[in-house]
Structure 1
């Protein structure tokens, strides 16, 4: 779960070290980020694939996330995470358990979908990479390399649809040989959302165990 949310963070989340970065890549990433931030809300359906040939691992799953400001609702692996702006509710129907915690969005180490639009602003250098024709669309890749040598990430390839300037996919390659790919199947914006979408309703979970972390 944490790994998937980290990839989402990288997918959607520019301050220092611009001199080390490709000016075209910086301009493209800024354009993508500013466009996404201009939307009132964003709804994404995605496919997530985890591969490691050495460990004979190949896992695939699907999920969806809705974001409005710093609020979000994420469904993945049978678990729902709702952040109402103050509290994070992690709902696990299989365990009949709900974990309630305070999420510190100011902490750089906190992994949240709401940071997805600006993740590259710190901690990465970036440059333009290849252009690929995928399913009739031109996808421009930007290669992001962690500044810290201690990072577990070797590099990230961020695929951007040249026409819409929306994220098409993200490929993260780890130093341990693990490759994770998140592909956006559906990207919708400014939808009419229920007022209660980001509100946790305890009356729906009367039989669940409530675990309050703080």
Structure 2
């Protein structure tokens, strides 16, 4: 369950490049620019660093990952697992457990799609213009998202946008329990030559390996 939640969080970050909703003044204008810039690319490759920290629980974890994004589809490598979204289903592949979980993408489950993210941001958060940071000569402007639903486990999300490129540089999610999860972009590439099979799941390949297939 922990792995699935973290994969979903990274998926949220990844799909966010194609699907921000907006609702106020300067924050809206900036996220409009991010959205339009990302939509202009045929595909995006992101290499990132992820960290999870909870001071009270004395927890601090860091790891690296990468993700390919093309429209509704993505392929994520993270925490020794893969998550593939082919536009119709989501496949979570965990070699350590020798298992694959297959889920339909519907409005009723927790899988993240661009259309669902767009609706989510439009109706689920308030937006606020936040701090401007200088990171190695780059100006990173943050926008703060606060959930309207007081029962959510998320306290806030900070999105750091490179003011020059209009690419997301950092995402910081703070939970109500004090856990802070952040993603920092190490490398951002666009319009890469991709294999036509990159977003295709080969079930027989994993069956032949003896993987347990779970269908939800």
User: What TM-score range do you get, normalising by the shorter chain?
Assistant: 0.7 to 0.9
Match of 1:172 in 2: 173
Contact 2:20 2:31 in 1 (8 A): no
Report the CA distance shift for 1:79/1:207 in structure 2 as closer, same or farther (over 3 A). same
Alpha-carbon distance in 1 for matches of 2:200, 2:46: 19
Shift of 1:204: 3.4
Q: In the TM superposition, what whole-angstrom CA distance separates every residue of 1:98-121 from its partner, at most 9, and x where no partner exists?
A: 2222222x44x5333756974533
Report the CA distance shift for 1:15/1:183 in structure 2 as closer, same or farther (over 3 A). closer
In structure 2, stretches of 5+ residues that fail to align are none
Alpha-carbon distance in 2 for matches of 1:137, 1:77: 29
Alpha-carbon distance in 2 for matches of 1:199, 1:14: 26
Structure 2 counterparts to residues 104-143 of structure 1, below 5 A: 104=106, 106-107=107-108, 110-112=110-112, 114=114, 118=118, 120-143=121-144
Structure 2 counterparts to residues 9-158 of structure 1, below 5 A: 9-10=12-13, 12=16, 13=19, 18=23, 21=24, 23-104=25-106, 106-107=107-108, 110-112=110-112, 114=114, 118=118, 120-158=121-159
Aligned to 1:91, what secondary structure does the other structure show?
A: strand
Alpha-carbon distance in 1 for matches of 2:155, 2:197: 40
Q: Number of aligned pairs?
A: 208
Q: CA RMSD in A?
A: 2.3
Q: Which has the higher contact order (CA 8 A, sep 6+)?
A: 1
TM-score, normalised with respect to structure 2: 0.87
Contact 2:49 2:184 in 1 (8 A): yes
Q: In the TM superposition, what whole-angstrom CA distance separates every residue of 1:120-158 from its partner, at most 9, and x where no partner exists?
A: 333111111111100220100111111111121111111
Q: In the TM superposition, what whole-angstrom CA distance separates every residue of 1:42-73 from its partner, at most 9, and x where no partner exists?
A: 11111110000000000111111111111111
